[in-house]
Each structure stands twice: as C-alpha cells, then as structure tokens.
Amino acid sequence: MIGRGPFRPRLVRPDRDDRAQSQDYAKAERFRATMLPHMDAAYTLARYLSRDPSAAEDIVQDAFLRAYRGFEGWRGEAAKAWLLAIVRNCFLNKASDMAARATAQPIDEWAGELPPQLVERTNPETVLADKSEVAMLRATIEQLPEPFRETLVLRELEEMSYKDIATVTRVPIGTVMSRLARARQMLAEMLLPGAGREAQA
C-alpha cells in the first residue's frame, strides 16, 4: 500500500495514552509487510522438514507466533532467513513429538494433493506422468538425511544464498557448501541413471 512503511514510525507522535497501542499497531503492520510474504516458504520448509502436512501447519503457526513476539529482535536483516530460522527451531522443538510419525510418507499421499496447475492440464497421460514425477521427486528429497535435506530445500526450493542458509541452519558457509554438494550428489545417484558411480570416481 502506498505511503506506509518507513514513514509511519517517524510521523506518528503519539501522546502517552496512545503510544503503546500505536506502537503495537505499527509493529503488526511491519510484521505483516515483512514476514507474511514468506508464509509459503515457511510452509514448504516445515513440510519438507517434518514430512507431515498437519505437523507442518502446527510448526508454521507456532513459528509465526514466536516470530511476532520476538519481532523486536529482528534487526532488518534478511527477513526470510530470520523467519525460516524460527521455523527450523520450531521443527526441532517438535521433532521429539514427531519421531513416532516421522517415517517417510508413502508416495501416494503426495500424489493425492497435487497443485491445481497440474490437475488442470487436459492430457491425462501428461497428468499421470507429472504426478508420478513430482511425487517421485518429493519422495526422493524426503529420503535425504535431515541436514542435507534442509540445506537442499533452502537452496533449490527457497532459492536462498549460502550466507542465508548458513544463518538458518547455524553452521559455517563451508558446511553449507559441503552439505549441498553431498545432497546433490545423493540426488544425482537416485535420479540420474548411471550418473552416481561416476560422480564419486
């Protein structure tokens, strides 16, 4: 919306009665503008970390509440990285509860909820092929061990820089690079026929 954002904090000169509430309001507005756009990214990460749709919803909701309450701690650095670090922490906190359910989902479960753009395609053979390919890719990513999976998802699906991935996963950039290389190598072995062994030679 025009005119919002940087203007607001400087222009509002509340008297004492209104100060707290207008600060609350400004905070909420700032939070909406900076953090809500990353909700899909948050959900994607939670989904691939937890491998469970309803757990992912819980994680993201929990993460946004924590993010809001800790929003004063955000210093204007990359918003997405800041938020996804919280999502990841929420997942880790929940991980022990999840342990029982965390076994890999059967491929059918992914195939049941394809995004509409695939369903809308008219050629049924294409639809089937896409379904199985997307489902297969998702299942393959989910099979990666956690540190490699999260690094790969942050890079390939969330399109984050090494530096931001390092922030989210709290490891040095060198570790990000080696995890990413290893994750891609594992995927190449699983997805590209005949490519795996050569790559290790």
Estimate the share of the chain in helix, then strand, then coil, as percent rounded to the nearest 5.
80, 0, 20
CB-CB contact of 190 with 140 (8 Å): yes
Residue 111 sits in the site that holds another protein (CB under 8 A) = no
- For 114, the token pair is 């394809």
Of 72-80, 82-90, 94-102, 132-140, the segment contacting another protein by CB under 8 A is: 132-140
CB 14 to another protein: min, Å: 6
Name the nearest CA neighbour of 29 among 66, 3, 57: 3
What distance in Å separates the CA atoms of residue 65 and residue 80, rounded to the nearest whole number? 15
Binding of another protein by 17 (CB under 8 A): yes
- Total residues at the site for another protein (CB under 8 A)? 66
Does 107 engage in binding with another protein (CB under 8 A)? Answer: no
Q: Name the token pair of 27.
A: 């905070």
What is the rounded radius of gyration, in angstroms, for the C-alpha atoms of the chain? 20
Q: Work out whether 145 is an interface residue with another protein (CB under 8 A).
A: no
Binding residue for another protein (CB under 8 A) from 6, 69, 73, 108?
69
- As measured in angstroms, the least distance from the Cβ of 201 to another protein is 6
- What burial letters (b/e) apply to 35-60, b meaning 16+ CB within 10 Å? beebeebbbbbbbbbbbbeebbebbb
* CA proximity to 56, closest of 82, 103, 95: 95
Interface stretch with another protein, choices 65-73, 76-84, 96-104, 120-128 (CB under 8 A): 65-73
Query: Smallest gap, in angstroms, from Cβ of residue 92 to another protein?
Result: 19
Q: What x/- string results for residues 31 through 50 when contact with another protein is judged by CB under 8 A?
A: xx---x--xx-xxx--xx--
Closer Cβ to another protein, 95 or 157, answer by number: 157
Specify whether the backbone of 79 is left (phi greater than 0), alpha (psi in -120 to 50) or beta.
alpha
Do 86 and 170 touch, CB atoms closer than 8 A? no
Residue 192 found at the interface with another protein (CB under 8 A):
yes
Q: Is position 12 an interface residue for another protein (rule: CB under 8 A)?
A: yes
95 lies in the site for another protein, by CB under 8 A? no
Binding span for another protein by CB under 8 A among 27-35, 80-88, 90-98, 120-128: 27-35
